[in-house]
């Protein structure tokens, strides 16, 4: 079974995008190829700035939702 991750990428316009995946490198490559999320297609290239491992896909999805609710300042603090 693949390990689920939550990740944050910084887009070329400085915005942040949060998602979850079982293969962070592949997913970032998809974003940069224009086959990732619609949000990132016009904001390429993206750069991975944060990721965290979770035990289950459900946990990763819950954490993704939680992070997406954060104000930008909280996301920047999480990234470090």
Number of structural domains found in the chain: 1
CATH of the domain at 49: 3.40.1440.10
Among residues 19, 22, 23, which one has the least CA distance to residue 10? 19
Q: From start to end of 4-76, where are the E strands?
A: 5-10, 16-21, 47-53
pTM equals: 0.95
Would you give per-residue pLDDT tens digits along the chain (80 residues)? 799 999 999 999 999 999 999 999 999 999 999 999 999 999 999 999 999 999 999 999 999 999 999 999 999 999 99
- Give the domain extent around 21: 5-79
């Amino acid at each position: 079974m693949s390990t689920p991750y939550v990740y944050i990428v910084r887009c070329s316009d400085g915005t942040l995008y949060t998602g979850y995946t079982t293969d962070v490198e592949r997913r970032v490559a998809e974003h940069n190829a224009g086959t990732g999320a619609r949000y990132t297609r016009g904001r390429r290239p993206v750069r991975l700035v944060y990721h965290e491992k979770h035990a289950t896909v459900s946990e990763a999805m819950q954490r993704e939702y939680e992070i997406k609710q954060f104000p930008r300042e909280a996301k920047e603090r999480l990234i470090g």
